Amino acid sequence: MAYRGLDRDAEAVEAFKEAIRLEPDNASAHEDLGWAYFGLDRYAEAVEAFKEAIRLEPDNASAHFGLGLTHLMSGNRGAALDEYRTLRKLDRELAESLFKFIYP
């Protein structure tokens, strides 16, 4: 979405919440909400948004990456490793990127 990358995460949160209100089963909107929360360091909310995206779309590799990275930023390396293991089955390149964050 256009908000990402423009340092407008607070505005993005509201836009994605509205998108989800209109289309609650939109996995992409939940994932984008997760990234917006991540950009605001609101990790607990980011985790919930990424988890909902994954519930709606279990093979969504970028949502698993976001969840793993958010767990890592929250200090939960074990949960980040769990996401790495899942991600290896979905997208090896993204999995390796996550691994480099876990073990720099």
Secondary structure string (H, E, C) spanning 42-54: CHHHHHHHHHHHH
91 found inside a domain: yes
2 found inside a domain: no
- The C-alpha atoms of residue 8 and residue 12 are separated, in whole angstroms, by 6
87 found inside a domain: yes
Give me the mean pLDDT over the 64-78 stretch: 98
* Residue-level pLDDT at 9: 77
53 found inside a domain: yes
Query: What CATH number is attached to the domain comprising 76?
Result: 1.25.40.10
Task: Note down the domain range covering 88.
Answer: 9-102
93 found inside a domain: yes
Q: Is the pLDDT of residue 19 over 60?
A: yes
* Residue-level pLDDT at 2: 42
- Tally the domains of the chain: 1
